[in-house]
Amino acid sequence: MNKYAKFAAMIATSTLVMFGLMYLNTYSLDHVFFSETRAYMAMVMGASMAVVMLLFMLGMYDDARANIAILAGSALVFAGALWLVRSQETVDDVSYMRAMIPHHSIAVLTSRRAHISDPRVRELADGIIDAQVREIDEMKALIRDLEAQPED
């Protein structure tokens, strides 16, 4: 495998790993759903990492055209993925809820596991837990309902 193919494989693998790592802060495994937004954010990070790594290791990569292509391609991926994150253009009802369940789960994890000593903060955290768990259950039910509907 040539060094540029190895570089591409390294960036692609790292991007996939970063996507998976973004789910480590969910409270429960049943709160892990595919999220387009997280996939786009992984692409933003992967594109950024490609630029940083290439520039740090430029001495190893001596093909100026390939380097320019990597930098330009990374800039395009970064801009496109960032636009998709910020616009939410591809996010529909179900994909919205699939993204929100892990997001709510983070609030549950933080609220349950934080070392809270002030009773007012504990009361706030407990209210957050109740609301987030209720909303996660509601979103799961809505997903099941929407996915069971016949397509037009």
pLDDT digits (tens, 9 = 90+) for 103-113: 999 999 999 99
Average pLDDT of the chain to the nearest whole number: 96
pLDDT digits (tens, 9 = 90+) for 19-69: 999 999 999 999 999 999 999 999 999 999 999 999 999 999 999 999 999
Instruction: Using the CB atoms, write b or e for 57-67: b if 16+ within 10 Å.
Output: eeeebeeeeee
Q: What is the pTM of this model?
A: 0.86
pLDDT digits (tens, 9 = 90+) for 61-99: 999 999 999 999 999 999 999 999 999 999 999 999 999
